[in-house]
Amino acid sequence: MTRQNFLFTSESVSEGHPDKVCDRISDAILDAFLAQDPFSRVACETFATTNRVVVGGEVRGPSSVIDSVEQIVRDCVRDIGYTQNGFHADTLEVTNLLHAQSADIAQGVDAAGDKEEGAGDQGIMFGYAVDETAELMPAPIFYSHQILRKLAAARKAESGPATILGPDMKAQLSLRYEKGVPVESTSIVLSSQHLDESLTSQDVREIVEPIIRETLPDAWVTDETEWLVNPTGKFVIGGPDGDAGLTGRKIIVDTYGGAAPHGGGAFSGKDPTKVDRSAAYAARYLAKNVVAAGLAKRCTLQLAYAIGVARPLSIYIDTHGTGTVADAKIERIVSDAMDLTPRGIREHLGLNKPIFQRTAAYGHFGRAPDADGGFSWERTDLVETLKAAL
């Protein structure tokens, strides 16, 4: 039986975290390819350290994008807010090592004759949804993201006390659950880079606490809530100057904060033929629609693929005892409701568009769908289809 009373913790990191800088650059390069050719193939990795960014990976698309990589890198770094001595948008060194896609990979993925377009890799992907927030996301990761998004907006404002904060931040939220419902924050951890070396941890807390309090439900912050703001003290050297960054190293932050399984594949820098990304989006889409349709209060969905093979090898659903019908029946109706081949996923969710840079920070899930097709996997437009199938 699922536990009803417990503590659970998730963390988020800001757009200025070294790994997230790399995710942003990789996805910006992906978007640049898709903007010129919607069927470009991209697997772009980024590494960042003190005043240096290295971009590598395999691509198939317009050569003009490869020529513009340096400018894309500088634009991303500048927009995030890095103009510090050890990592400056104008002076950092950019190394571009992108190369043509492997012919061996291409032959497995490309459609040809009677062969359907195959999956870009083997692997397992998970989707998850739970009714503890309106967005059908686990509350600890959802609110950790929200805290950092609001702090980023305050940092980038024209004026205000938060403008003295730097781009590199981490938030961690521990929630106490009663009868399966989050009721209280037992601890709030926030580490934020600051541009004034004289600021103490208490000074930073006075800046961030009002923003955190307005983000969380009122009843969650009590006299017993433990606050840990910049617990190590001074945090002036941040970003890749303080710690190296790498694409794809924050996969739990990107998904469900540890509340659900993860297949292990990262998202950023990968075009939608890579099922690590597109099938994880499809799995979230289906799980969210299952919960939105009232078929369960909580749903975990797993898909499995083999490289070069179009159809998923398996689909598995666990509603953790909350389902209104048998899990096996839900598996059958979701399989019928959506074509889960790589082509089917791309077309159903409209993924061959430059919509990925915006996903690089503050989570790939639990975001509102955009009018241009961004976050299409957050739609709940399958609800009536699933209900009708029952």
Q: Is 121 annotated as a binding residue?
A: no
User: How far is it, in rounded angstroms, from Cα 12 to Cα 144?
Assistant: 5
Which residue type does 134 have?
A
Token duo for residue 8 = 């659970």
Which residues, other chains included, contact 33 with Cβ-Cβ below 8 Å and sequence gap of 6+? 40, 42, 59, 61, 62, 65, 271
User: How far is it, in rounded angstroms, from Cα 56 to Cα 248?
Assistant: 13
What's the pLDDT score for residue 3?
A: 84
Element (H, E) at 259: none
Residue 118 reports pLDDT greater than 80: no
At 11-68, the pLDDT tens digits run: 999 999 999 999 999 999 999 999 999 999 999 999 999 999 999 999 999 999 999 9
Average pLDDT, the chain: 94
Is the overall model pTM greater than 0.75, yes or no? yes
Q: Is 158 annotated as a binding residue?
A: no
Cβ atoms of residues 19 and 242 within 8 Å: no
Q: Which residue has the tokens 């017993």?
A: 224
Q: Is 329 annotated as a binding residue?
A: no
Catalytic residue numbers, as ranges: 17, 19-20, 45, 58, 170, 235, 243-244, 249-250, 270, 274, 276
Q: Is 156 annotated as a binding residue?
A: no
Q: What is the CATH T-level fold of the domain 123-131+275-389, as seen in this structure?
A: GMP Synthetase; Chain A, domain 3 (3.30.300)
Distance of CA 238 to the CA centre of its chain: 21
At 248-304, the pLDDT tens digits run: 999 999 999 999 999 999 999 999 999 999 999 999 999 999 999 999 999 999 999
Nearest of 368, 375, 357, 355 to residue 146 by alpha carbon? 368
Which DSSP state fits 117? P
What's the pLDDT score for residue 112?
A: 46
Question: Which sequence spans correspond to the domains of the chain?
Answer: 6-12+140-239, 123-131+275-389
Q: What is the three-class DSSP state of 91?
A: coil
State the average pLDDT over residues 127-138.
98
Q: What is the three-class DSSP state of 98?
A: strand
Structure confidence at residue 106 as a pLDDT band (50, 70, 90): low
Helices 69-80/18-36 angle, 10° precision: 130
Q: Is 169 annotated as a binding residue?
A: yes
Pairing of strands 226-229, 165-178: unpaired
Residue 184 reports pLDDT greater than 90: yes
Quick one: CATH architecture of 6-12+140-239?
A: 2-Layer Sandwich (3.30)
Contacts by residues 111-116 (CB-CB < 8 Å, ≥ 24 positions apart): 111/343, 116/310, 116/341, 116/343
**Phi, psi (deg, nearest 5) at residue 272:** -70, 0
Whether 6-12+140-239 and 123-131+275-389 share one fold: the answer is yes
At 196-240, the pLDDT tens digits run: 999 999 999 999 999 999 999 999 999 999 999 999 989 999 999
User: How far is it, in rounded angstroms, from Cα 332 to Cα 54?
Assistant: 45
